Amino acid sequence: IAALEKKLNTKIALVSSRKQTGIEKIKELIADFKNLPVVPNVDTTAIAPEYFDRLKRTFPNEDLYKLWLVITQDVNFMPIEKKRIQDAGSFGTKSASELKRLQQKETILRYQFINGILKETYVVDSKAAKGFRATVDRILTHKIFGYLIFFVILLTIFQAIYDWSSYPMDFIDEQFAVGSEWIKNTLPPGVFTNLLAEGVLAGIGGIVIFIPQIAFLFLFIALLEESGYMSRVVFLMDKLMRPFGLSGKSVVPLISGTACAIPAVMATRNIENWKERLITILVTPFITCAARLPVYLIIISLVIPEGRFIGLSYQALTLMLLYVIGFLAAIGSAMVLHKVLNIQSRTFFMVEMPNYKLPLLKNVVYTVIEKSKSFVYGAGKIILAISIVLWFLGTNGYSDDFTNAEELVKNKIATEGFTTYNQADISKTLNAYEKELEANPLISSDARKDSLLYKRLALNTRAEKQEIAGYKLENSYIGIMGKAIEPAVQPLGYDWKIGIAVLTSFAAREVFVGTLATIYSVGNDEEDTIKHRMAAEINPVTKEPLFNLASGISLLLFYAFAMQCMSTLAIVKRETNSWRWPIAQLVFMTAFAYLVALIAYQILK
């Protein structure tokens, strides 16, 4: 260290944030920075002595290196301005190509200085190449076993997400249902009470129930990053990505995309090659982000059975398959773009492998809390606004059918009876209740008849309320809008309610669940969970459950391939400095998602 301080002509502090050592030393040096030498270690003027000599004569009172930075890097050091330097052309202004060559000379000069210092002050440990870390690296980055290990880790993560989060998720869902019922029973009836119970609480509940699974996802990502394993994954994926026009540098944004596409697209700034950067920007939205997770989880829980295959649940395998499909879509699109984009390029990839470390609990907990808060608050603001708008549109209408809904539905029930689904549901419930009564020998025959009568009346009243609420919803503003777009989504197996949810989810993917929660809550007096409400929905065309295998797979594939959200489009526009690429991206991804969802539904229905 003493030799290094002497060579660099400065003071050095050995700091470790993990061990909390050297913190006070670095504080002292920062406080005393004015007394440290400011003489440069590398004489930049050596790359072009005559040029810098003329520059010095032209600006005798200015720092030469500051002038050089203003000329080459557009760094702003007031009062030095680039225009002022260019106007004073007496020192012999260089062309852009000449300045580029001088910058290259400066880079070489600095690395020569660095290499010289390292030879004198750093001793390479030859034993490290044969040590424990090297052995583990050879296994984790092996051309076959490396991918298998990564695959097993992913399987474990998705299985844990389902197994560990199911109980807290069900608990939160039930509490929101109870809370909604409590608001209706406690507060005086009116618009404000309905807004809170059917709009705000239902919408927010549609995203809060997924906090456990989102938190577990971020927990595993944080553990992998803290341990140093993610750097090995980046290195491992470099060879895999090369044939598709990408490199290991693209892996970092793609992995970041599992949290959110916006910072992932911004992370492509580290890719120097423009073609590779553009391809990475365009394919990153295919990667499954955290906002898609609530959509996947709720649909998978409705349409995929709870069985297991070699210890792994079908639902966890389906979730992992969706992540794999998104990744395959990304690299497949990258390969097509690599062939189509006529941009000559060559890129190189280097990565420093960090030491393996035991993840610090403090860092992991902080990461999980901050990312979960960011996800919930970011989505919460959008969902709250959309929920209020949807509630208003769902509880108001202008037609006579909406105004006279109660009278019209009661007349229809009196003449035609309940809907086929409600009739079947009432009969099924009564039969089960009758068997339950018969199994109890203490209940007399008359008591059984009275109990069945009261049960039938209660079921009829509930069915009547449901049909009135459903009729009003269909003739409300949101119902009219939904019916207008229903022809476009019906071939995919969706009804108008799902169509509205898909449309609003372009604001943010997680809005899908909140939208359905709000729509299903409007006019619904039942204390029921979001999942149960969705499971009870009936397709008006097929008269079967709306969320079945065909429509569920169609919906999952649509969200796997569709553009993520409007914010992603905006950031793509900013990073590419053109509307051409985000518009092309939106059109292609939406059309592709629609086509795949259409084919899937038509095959499976």
pLDDT digits (tens, 9 = 90+) for 518-538: 776 655 555 556 677 777 777
Report how far residue 238's alpha carbon sits from residue 247's, in angstroms, rounded to the nearest whole number: 5
pLDDT of residue 84: 64
pLDDT digits (tens, 9 = 90+) for 301-350: 888 888 787 777 888 888 889 989 998 999 888 888 888 876 666 666 77
> Which residue in the block uniquely carries the two structure tokens 């065909």?
550
Query: For a pLDDT cut of 90, what percent of the chain falls above it?
Result: 5
Report how far residue 533's alpha carbon sits from residue 468's, in angstroms, rounded to the nearest whole number: 16
**CA triple 172-177-178, angle to 5 deg:** 95
Q: Tell me the pLDDT band of 421, cut-offs 50, 70 and 90.
A: low
pLDDT digits (tens, 9 = 90+) for 91-116: 556 677 777 888 888 888 888 888 88
**Are the beta carbons of 467 and 413 closer than 8 angstroms?**
yes
Q: Alpha-carbon dihedral of residues 395, 398, 404, 405, nearest 10 degrees?
A: -40
pLDDT of residue 521: 65
Counts for the chain of helices (H) and strands (E), in that order: 29, 2
Q: Tell me the pLDDT band of 558, cut-offs 50, 70 and 90.
A: very high
Provide the token pair at 88: 């004073």
Q: Which of 532, 403, 421 lies closest to 467 in space, CA to CA?
A: 421
Q: Tell me the pLDDT band of 556, cut-offs 50, 70 and 90.
A: very high
Which contacts of 363-367 are long-range, i.e. CB under 8 A and separated by 24 or more positions?
A: 363/222, 363/226, 364/219, 364/222, 364/223, 364/226, 367/218, 367/222
Please count the other Cβ atoms lying within 10 Å of the Cβ belonging to residue 499.
Answer: 21
Helix axes of 361-394 and 201-208: crossing angle, nearest 10 degrees? 150
Q: Tell me the pLDDT band of 77, cut-offs 50, 70 and 90.
A: low
Report how far residue 68's alpha carbon sits from residue 70's, in angstroms, rounded to the nearest whole number: 5
Report how far residue 456's alpha carbon sits from residue 458's, in angstroms, rounded to the nearest whole number: 5
Sheet strands (E) in 46-148: none
Report how far residue 404's alpha carbon sits from residue 408's, in angstroms, rounded to the nearest whole number: 6
Q: Is pLDDT of 129 > 60?
A: no
What length does the chain have? Answer: 605
DSSP code string of 144-185: THHHHHHHHHHHHHHHHHHHHHHHHHHHHHHHHHHHHHHHHH
pTM above 0.85, yes or no: no
> Which residue(s) pair with 77 in the sheet?
80
**Are the beta carbons of 141 and 232 closer than 8 angstroms?**
yes
Please count the other Cβ atoms lying within 10 Å of the Cβ belonging to residue 372.
Answer: 19
